[in-house]
């Protein structure tokens, strides 16, 4: 998987976590700090994992 594709997938995963986690956990996920931080952490950590996992 190219890094570009991996990044798009990471954003999609972050979106699913935010929406599903938000519905179930409400403000624990959907607050001004955790929500954006979750996007940054997911994209930063998941992108290299996905691109490395597929290429190896």
Of the candidates 5, 15, 52, 53, which one interacts with another protein according to CB under 8 A?
15
What minimum distance in Å lies between the beta carbon of 37 and another protein? 8
Question: Is the distance from CB of 14 to CB of 39 less than 8 angstroms?
Answer: yes
What minimum distance in Å lies between the beta carbon of 56 and another protein? 19
Question: Is the distance from CB of 39 to CB of 18 less than 8 angstroms?
Answer: yes
Please, where are the H alpha helices in 1-56? 3-25, 34-55
Per CB under 8 A, does 23 bind another protein? yes
CA distance 2 to 33: 30
**Chain residues in the site for another protein (CB under 8 A):** 3, 7, 11, 14-15, 18-24, 26-27, 29-30, 32, 35-40, 43-44, 47
């Amino acid at each position: 998987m190219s890094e570009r594709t991996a990044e798009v997938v990471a954003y999609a995963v972050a979106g699913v976590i935010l929406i599903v986690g938000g519905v179930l956990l409400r403000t624990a996920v959907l607050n001004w700090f955790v929500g954006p931080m979750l996007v940054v952490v997911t994209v930063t950590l998941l992108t290299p994992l996905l691109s490395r996992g597929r290429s190896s």
